[in-house]
Each structure stands twice: as structure tokens, then as C-alpha cells.
Amino acid sequence: MNSLWLKIKVWTKVTVFSLLVLYGLLLVFNNSGEPVKVWIWFGKTYEIPALLLIVSCVLIGILGTLLVRTVMKTVRQLREIRDHGQADKEAREMADMKSKAAMLQTRPDATE
């Protein structure tokens, strides 16, 4: 019984993947020569194939996502560097205070 459900699950995945690939091929075939007007800058519109527009938008989205992720990671690293520097400074100050306290001499008792 377990084998039957596994087969159903695998064939469902294969069918869905095949339908998605077929849809992608139809999308490429139907949009490969279809011109689209694109406004890029003031006073001028360009006609480019729809497929090229789709691919360009996807690539720009991927590059934008990578750029945002890189900037966020860099900001996080800068914060960590600042925090480590501050912790090191506090540790040096504490060590300096302890060394100064160790150098202080205690007064001899007046009763002696």
C-alpha cells in the first residue's frame, strides 16, 4: 500500500513538472516574435520582443535581489565590527582600571 502512494506521488510530480515545462515552451514559442513597446526614457519608446523583455526583467530582479542582500549583509558586518571594537575598548578600559587599582598602595594603619 505504501508503494502505491509513493508511485502516485512521483507520477503527480512528474505530471506537474511536465505541464510546467510544456507551458514554458509555449510561452517562449508564442512570445518569441511578439513586439512590445517599452518606455525607457522621456520622449522615446522602443519596440523589443516580449521574450527579451521578460528575460531582462527576470535578470534585473535577480541582480536587484543579490544587490539588496549584499548591502544588508555588509551593513550587518559593519555593525558587528563596531560592536566588537566597542567591546574591545571596554575590555581595555577595564584592564587599565584594574592595573591602576593594583598600583595603588594601601595606607599603613595608624595604630601601628
* pLDDT, position 105: 66
Nearest to 31, CA basis, from 51, 58, 55: 51
Q: What is the CA radius of gyration of the chain?
A: 34
User: With pLDDT > 70 as the criterion, what percentage of the chain qualifies?
Assistant: 92
DSSP string, 53-93: HHHHHHHHHHHHHHHHHHHHHHHHHHHHHHHHHHHHHHHHH
Q: Can you give the pTM of this predicted structure?
A: 0.55
Cell numbers for 40, please give them.
Answer: 525607457
In the predicted model, is pLDDT for residue 11 greater than 90? yes
Q: How far apart are CA 65 and CA 10, in angstroms?
A: 33
pLDDT by residue (tens digit) across 40-76? 888 888 898 888 888 899 999 999 999 999 999 999 9
pLDDT band at 38 (very low <50, low <70, confident <90, very high): confident
Contacts of 46 (CB under 8 A, 6+ apart): 37, 38, 39, 40
* pLDDT, position 112: 56
- Residue 40 parent element (H or E): strand 35-41
